[in-house]
Chain A
Amino acid sequence: MLAATIRRTPFLGKMFDVDESTGLSDINTWPAMMIMTSFVWLIVAILLGALMPVIQIAEMDTNLFYSAITLHGAALAFPFLFQFMMGISLHRSGGCMGKSASGTLTTLIYVCMNGGAVLLTLAVIGGLKITYTVMYPLPLVGAQLGQWSMGMVVLGFTGIALVLTSIILLYPIQIIRMSFFGKQREDLLLSARTLKDPGMLGMVMSVMILLVTGTPLMIVAGALLLALYGIVPLEAITWASEPVVFQYVFYIFAHNLMEAMAIMVISAVYATLPLYLADGTRKLYSDKLANLALWILLVTSVTSFFHHFYTTNPGLPSALAYHGNFMSWATGIGAALSTFTILATIWKHGIKTEPGLMAILAGFVVYILDGVNAMVAGNIAVSYQIHGTLWVGGHAMSVLIAMCLMWMGVLYHHYPVITGKKLDTKLGNRFVKFYFIGAIGLLYSFAAGGAMGMPRRFADWSAGPDGWMMVGIAILIFGIFLIVGFATYMQNFLRSRAIS
């Protein structure tokens, strides 16, 4: 039934029609559904992303800008990229562990993610403009000041809670279940891997990060939701409704969400790169070094979130600021080891120039460049110059764009298994070029805007020096490159041909 639903979906259905003849439906159909749905959200995010500079250049309504920025960020980060990642990782996990990626839990993951995202979208359309970082207590203060209604706050928070349930609880439980429990099915086993394999280790690390760092936010958000529904009085949950409490549990999660997604995708790179080595070795330069890089990323990233609070000093004690500074740069050691592992592997064995691998490597370049951007911002002295500017907005966006490009490359590899169709190399290479130019251009445009002191989430670029609008125009131009890249990617799926 699910496969039929995919097939009947207009436009996208043709791209993700699952090949049922292989008997792999249990690891293909739900992932295909998730990937297909994530692309619907990506189209929404892309249109809104392009709309923002247009609103500024045409001096349109600032309210429209704040609605667009809220929905763009939310759609890009969660129902698009996270869902895209869930789809591919469930397929990978199923094929590597020989376990079904279907069932009630997967259905719930999908329903919570997309149902929650739809509710949040409706709330934004209804007037809620809180950005994807919520900016608590802005939702409540905004309702008190008449910026939006309390009904929209309740609707939006319900949506957010559902999305968080999918990300923090259901998806990690499903990956843990597939990795550690249940009987292996030989018929689903495509490429057996163990948890010693860097390609699987990162996946398990990621979901553990989500579960551990996200649970406090689930508790606080759950308490707030109970108060918003009127089930408990607001006075009874003051421990949860304190802005400082919410901000800390939010950033402990949100920061580590990005780190978890990065660890997950680096792990997928470790798994995919060896498959495209020119000499057919199918081995990384060193699994131990690759695993060490993942462990360093895991350990250092967890407490580096303090960098989000440097500029509240002395609200954030100096000792914790120094710790955040140290850990933010220590993540770079993990990245340096990852870089070395990938380069040494390529150097030793050579690579085949397949578009999927090129997308992965191009995404890795953007990821490392953006990592440097983040490390620089993670320095306390520098943070006082650029925190709150386009620099940090650009960092969040670039890491998403980089991970997206790497996952798109990984999907190139898995697409024939899922659909039984092959992709066109020429279109694939064209997609990588356009997307890469767009990604790099956006990264430097945002960083330049930040260097100029241009605020993020700010609906009046004309209020600043002339350079601000130039940055806006550059963002629009490179955004168009990104759109053309994505359109080419989709075109390739549309033109895919059955493998004879």
Chain B
Amino acid sequence: MLDFIYQTGWGAFTLMLLFQIPFLLIFPYIVYRKSFVNAAPSHTDPRKLSRLETVWLIVAITLFIAANVYSINYMPMVRTAATESSAAVIQDVDVTARSWSYEISNRQFEVGKPVRFSVKSVDTMHGFTVYHPNGKILFNMMLIPGLEKASSLVYTFTEPGKYKVRCLEYCGIAHHAMQDELTVVESGS
């Protein structure tokens, strides 16, 4: 479940709905009730409202903390550090982005072997986004020219196939044509 929430776009959509639905139930209900059903003042005990205020705040803060604490292990920098400390070998790939193409030092990878992508732009802002063959985004990186350190993360492919690369930062009139492809093969093939 957590893999789905923090590692897919639809997971993000689900997380968004989890927070929006309670609001969508409560807010319109109260507005409807106090405008169309009975607009008369409610004689709710002020102490009760004050308690409700505290509960509301505590629930919101607890949910916000939970949503973020659970995500820590899915943060790419955390995953990268964990892989770097545990993997025997990491394949290094250098990528240079320029309008409107990528120079990629290696385009073929093996399933299960971690790859460190170090990506730089040499002219303007670009993106380096890798899509799973099913169309889902695996990760994306924003490239600002002039940054001393290349944008970098370690990723381990889990399935063979053709992985599309797209630029997701608008970079001029042929931005949409800035694409490439990576190939992932079974281990040992």
Asked if B147 contacts A135 (CB within 8 A), the reply is no
Distance (whole angstroms) from the CB of B49 to the closest CB of chain A:
6
Asked if B135 contacts A372 (CB within 8 A), the reply is no
Asked if A347 contacts B44 (CB within 8 A), the reply is yes
Asked if B172 contacts A313 (CB within 8 A), the reply is no
A-B contact count (CB 8 A): 252
Asked if B35 contacts A351 (CB within 8 A), the reply is yes
Asked if B12 contacts A343 (CB within 8 A), the reply is no
Asked if A372 contacts B123 (CB within 8 A), the reply is no
**Looking at the complex, which one of B27, B44, B136, B177 makes contact with A365 (CB distance below 8 Å)?**
B27
Asked if A388 contacts B168 (CB within 8 A), the reply is yes
Asked if B151 contacts A385 (CB within 8 A), the reply is no
Complex contacts, B13 vs chain A, CB 8 Å: 447-448, 450-451
Asked if A387 contacts B75 (CB within 8 A), the reply is no
Asked if B41 contacts A312 (CB within 8 A), the reply is no
Distance (whole angstroms) from the CB of B116 to the closest CB of chain A:
12
Complex contacts, A455 vs chain B, CB 8 Å: 129, 166, 168, 176
Closest residue of A by beta carbon distance from B151: A312
Known: A315-B149, A388-B129. A135 touches B170 (CB 8 A): yes
Distance (whole angstroms) from the CB of A147 to the closest CB of chain B:
5
Asked if B44 contacts A312 (CB within 8 A), the reply is no
Complex contacts, B19 vs chain A, CB 8 Å: 372, 375-376
Asked if B173 contacts A385 (CB within 8 A), the reply is no
Give Cα distance in the complex from A489 to B20, angstroms: 28
B residues 122-178 touching A (CB-CB < 8 Å): 123-125, 127, 129, 131, 135-137, 139-149, 151-153, 166, 168-173, 175-177
**Looking at the complex, which one of B9, B124, B129 makes contact with A135 (CB distance below 8 Å)?**
B124
Q: Which of A340, A343, A376 has the most CB of B within 10 A?
A: A376
Known: A138-B124, A336-B56, A453-B9. A285 touches B49 (CB 8 A): yes
Give Cα distance in the complex from A282 to B151, angstroms: 54
Asked if A66 contacts B40 (CB within 8 A), the reply is no
Closest residue of A by beta carbon distance from B46: A348
Give Cα distance in the complex from A66 to B127, angstroms: 17
Tell me how many residues of A have a C-beta within 8 Å of chain B. Answer: 86
Of A36-44, A195-203, A458-466, which stretch is located at the interface? A458-466
B39 on interface, CB distance cutoff 8 Å? yes
A184 on interface, CB distance cutoff 8 Å? no
Give Cα distance in the complex from A3 to B23, angstroms: 44
Asked if B60 contacts A336 (CB within 8 A), the reply is yes
Give Cα distance in the complex from A376 to B64, angstroms: 10
A299 on interface, CB distance cutoff 8 Å? no
**Looking at the complex, which one of A285, A336, A377 makes contact with B57 (CB distance below 8 Å)?**
A336
Complex contacts, A35 vs chain B, CB 8 Å: none
Complex contacts, A465 vs chain B, CB 8 Å: 135
Asked if B171 contacts A386 (CB within 8 A), the reply is no
Give Cα distance in the complex from A325 to B139, angstroms: 18
Complex contacts, B12 vs chain A, CB 8 Å: 376-377, 382, 385-386, 391, 450-451
Contact with A along B25-48 (1 / 0, CB 8 A): 011101100111011111010000
Complex contacts, A226 vs chain B, CB 8 Å: none
Known: A386-B9, A388-B129. A333 touches B142 (CB 8 A): no
Contact with B along A294-330 (1 / 0, CB 8 A): 0000000000000001011111001001000110011
Of A105-113, A240-248, A400-408, which stretch is located at the interface? A240-248
A residues 133-163 touching B (CB-CB < 8 Å): 135-138, 141-142, 145, 147
Asked if B175 contacts A347 (CB within 8 A), the reply is no
Distance (whole angstroms) from the CB of A379 to the closest CB of chain B:
5
Given A332-B64, A382-B15, 14 more contacts at CB 8 Å? Answer: A129-B172, A135-B124, A141-B123, A279-B41, A312-B141, A344-B49, A344-B52, A365-B23, A368-B27, A379-B71, A381-B75, A384-B139, A385-B137, A451-B8
Chain A residues proximal to chain B, CB less than 8 Å:
62-63, 66, 129, 131, 135-138, 141-142, 145, 147, 242-244, 247, 278-279, 281, 285, 289, 309, 311-315, 318, 321, 325-326, 329-330, 332-333, 336-337, 339-340, 343-344, 346-353, 361, 365, 368-369, 372-373, 375-377, 379-382, 384-389, 391, 447-448, 450-453, 455-460, 463-465, 467
Give 6 pairs: A residue, B residue, CB < 8 Å, sorted on A: A147-B173, A340-B57, A347-B42, A381-B76, A453-B129, A463-B176
